[in-house]
Chains A and B, each alone.
Chain A
């Protein structure tokens, strides 16, 4: 499949689904993007520090050994969808945009069957199988990804908040896209990275925005809805107000087409 960089320069993508390009450009570095493949990006593993240190318990790497991050250094860990077995987040920016745009992952299985996986179902939550990041069947091959051409090519934004301006993973990220008619929101898409084991869609906030006027007030309300009732871990409570600010900022930025 094509390299990440190709996603940022392709005329088709820039014209019809430019949110993809914006999200990809927020990740990694030019050199990495020149080499990374699209499917590889989907399948990349978490960046949780305990996953990489083989001397530390990690259910993802070594099922049954425990989750070191749960009560440990979890400032970069999940806010939602986690459980005691695993609090890792999926690190991709591209996937947040694909989630926002309801992409579909096309797979050829081991016995040559063609399968289509909606993006929201491609990555999974830890559940009882934290060692599995996604639902790709064993020995199957991702052949391509399809992104529906909907009305999100004009008003979109990708906000990635991190500890430095570049070359770092997200503390939280927000992909937003608005289908506007005048200042009326026909449909809104909101997805986040840095918050869960999979890219996270804020469906409730999206539903709230539907039919509403695009304004600072409605954006603030949408952000509140998204960040309601989130139970953080011991060290990542900051992500809640940060996420709120990121959603508001992303929606605001989406107005500038």
Chain B
């Protein structure tokens, strides 16, 4: 195991990913693939009803089945100190107190864990478990339940609604978005292995330290007792930011049978076990004066949540980011339903809110008879964060819009909707902008160096496909000149220097500072050792120390080059092992930070069949400095495809009468296939942010999706004159909506 295969002889392609060969040859191990001796298999039995209580569980038949080791349920399970009583359960913020309650909150809730020698035996035995329920009334209909949920303020009100009550140009509309599901390619899985009061977890997640912290809290164990590996992650999109019930189930299973236990969720189980983007309702009232300047916005939002977890998607956050105007009121409510808990899904909140804001802006532009691009220029808050008043450290959104308009051929757009046809196809163009707060968290990195100058660069941070490892390698290479072939990356292991989770578009921003910091620490350490051989290095500062493939030198006229071999020999070293951490500083109180994107698309809509084809799609992104051009482009195109899914097809169906998800598998839940997307054209402004972190890179993971759905919906309006405010815009809607 190991993020970088030690035995790999092939050189990394110059601009490729460090883990590419490990991934495509299958050598890279995902959570369920680690070989653990004596492992046994666990399968979840889940509730068949959406609400009520478990009256009884018939386990006898299952227990007698061949190969069964034990069965865990609320009736019999190892103690979890963190769930000792109701107060503790609440404090733990874990969410579902799995196997510590007989209450059923949703259909699909784990009610038993069957552990057997082989996977097949466990599956079969699980099918023999029978439960008797005391059914209770349930609610899974978001649109029905939300009607009576009261809105509450979400963030401070700015100005007043009164001042812009009667403006000549205003939009007041409601927007609905169906529940979407992450559906990463890799099913979540955990292998749990106890050794006394030490625990090893091979677990699919987006943050090993977070898993460590959560589990150690639940079991009252020191965090160091828990070792978590998540070295290869087959996509997360936010589903791996929390520790979910199945992880705890595996941990309990391993404790119960005193053997390592492997649990992998099935694809249908994934739909109710690791979160999802909750269904949402929004109402926007937006008013502008006759020049197109926004005077005020009133944004009301509601999202579905679980009864046991009041997750708020933060839908109105984005309304406080993009445009400059005096009066803003935002409100929110969460609507508890008999469904599993939702969670952050790529561009959480902002994606949803931006659909409403950017659709409303587009509607406004037609009222004003103004080019939607001009309307954006008129209102962008380019200097300061409109809410906090802090100056943007960098904000090149206007430039991004200009470039995007050029790339799509915006001048081909007809300003009158439904006026461009080619046979049965109606042609239209649309645009929208997206923004995301650019964050940075504390992170640590380590370097292990040998006497040949080979370096292993380490961090606990995961790489969920974003290219973190590659970014770290590039930063190290760029900062020191050391050849990429001499650098290996180790990550996704809690034994390595700690870091935050990979999410919220903060990964690169956080780890880049740590890499820069640890390079300096390495330099100083080497310098310390070299002083023995050359006193010129005494008191040398990091800035003046130069590394290379073969040794160190000083930034002086007579360089003082000392080869690594000599340093090692003179100091009797085997390895040099250093660590450093870095995090945000007072720049966060001086500046506001954001990433942004301008999305443009051309669509054609078939007036006979309702088929929508995205013919052309352009994304221009201000993400600060681009550290890895290929993976960065990959982030944006992947996110754009997610946006096409959000706009045109993704929806989780729910049967309101039976209280159940239906079609929860990859046949029933549609996300885009290759044929649904054009080649997405991506451009980066690529101007470094001088304040956010040493690399100048802002986050890219999410701006790529924020704004895509409204860009498409706006294009569909331009093509057909039909305004769709309910996502997804499936062919069905073309016919049912007037």
Contact = CB atoms under 8 A, between A and B. Distances in A.
Interface of A: 47, 49-50, 53, 55-56, 68, 71-73, 75, 159, 161-169, 171, 237-238, 241-242, 244-246, 248-249
Contacts of B60: none
A75 B736 CA distance: 12
A49 B663 contact: yes
Contacts of A68: 655, 658
Shortest Cβ-Cβ A-B pairs, 10 listed = A245-B608, A165-B675, A238-B735, A49-B663, A49-B662, A55-B48, A238-B732, A241-B735, A166-B673, A245-B609
B611 A161 contact: yes
Interface stretch (B197-205, B344-352, B664-672): B664-672
B493 interface: no
A224 to B, nearest CB: 13
Interface string B371-382: 000000000000
Interface in B589-627: 606-611
Given A163-B649, A249-B609, A53 B660 contact: yes
Contacts of B424: 249
A164 B676 CA distance: 7
B655 A165 contact: no
Interface in B491-544: none
Given A56-B662, A72-B657, A238-B731, 6 more contacts: A164-B672, A165-B673, A165-B676, A169-B667, A242-B735, A245-B610
Contacts, number: 84
Contacts of B670: 163-164, 168
B655 A73 contact: yes
B269 interface: no
Q: Which of B107, B424, B667 has the most CB of A within 10 A?
A: B667
B610 A53 contact: no
A85 B34 CA distance: 49
B128 interface: no
Contacts of A169: 667
Contact of B609 (A53, A163, A242): A242
A237 B734 CA distance: 12
A246 B657 contact: no
B572 to A, nearest CB: 59
A253 to B, nearest CB: 11
Contact of A73 (B610, B662, B672, B675): B662
A244 B74 CA distance: 55
Contacts of B676: 164-166
Interface string B412-445: 0000000000001000000000000000000000
Given A166-B673, A242-B609, A50 B657 contact: no
A72 B655 contact: yes
B649 A164 contact: yes
Nearest to A220: B608
Interface of B: 48, 107, 424, 606-611, 648-649, 653, 655, 657-658, 660, 662-663, 667-668, 670-676, 730-736
B634 to A, nearest CB: 21
16 contacts: A49-B663, A55-B48, A56-B658, A72-B657, A73-B662, A73-B663, A75-B732, A161-B609, A164-B673, A165-B673, A165-B676, A238-B731, A242-B731, A242-B735, A245-B606, A246-B608
A237 B736 contact: yes
B731 A55 contact: no
A246 B653 contact: no
A122 B663 CA distance: 28
Contacts of A47: 667
A73 B662 CA distance: 8
B729 to A, nearest CB: 10
A71 B656 CA distance: 10
A47 B674 CA distance: 23
A161 B660 contact: no
Given A238-B736, A242-B731, A166 B610 contact: no
Contacts of B673: 164-167
Given A47-B667, A49-B668, A163 B608 contact: no
A73 B733 CA distance: 15
B646 to A, nearest CB: 13
Q: Which of B608, B655, B658, B667 has the most CB of A within 10 A?
A: B608
B732 A171 contact: yes
A241 B657 CA distance: 28
Contacts of B672: 164
B738 to A, nearest CB: 12
A246 B606 CA distance: 11
Contact of B662 (A53, A71, A159): A53
B422 to A, nearest CB: 14
A73 B675 CA distance: 27
Contacts of A249: 424, 606, 608-609
A245 B675 CA distance: 22
A248 B609 CA distance: 9
A55 to B, nearest CB: 4
A159 B609 CA distance: 10
Contacts of B736: 237-238
A87 to B, nearest CB: 14
Contact of B657 (A55, A71, A162, A238): A71
Q: Which of A47, A241, A245, A246 has the most CB of B within 10 A?
A: A245
B45 to A, nearest CB: 12
Contacts of B655: 56, 68, 72-73
Contacts of A164: 648-649, 670-673, 675-676
Contacts of B48: 55
Nearest to B732: A238
A163 B667 CA distance: 11
A194 to B, nearest CB: 12
A241 to B, nearest CB: 5
A181 to B, nearest CB: 26
Contacts of B610: 161, 242, 245
Contacts of A168: 670
B608 A73 contact: no
Contacts of B733: 238
A3 to B, nearest CB: 21
A84 B668 CA distance: 23
Contacts of A166: 673-676
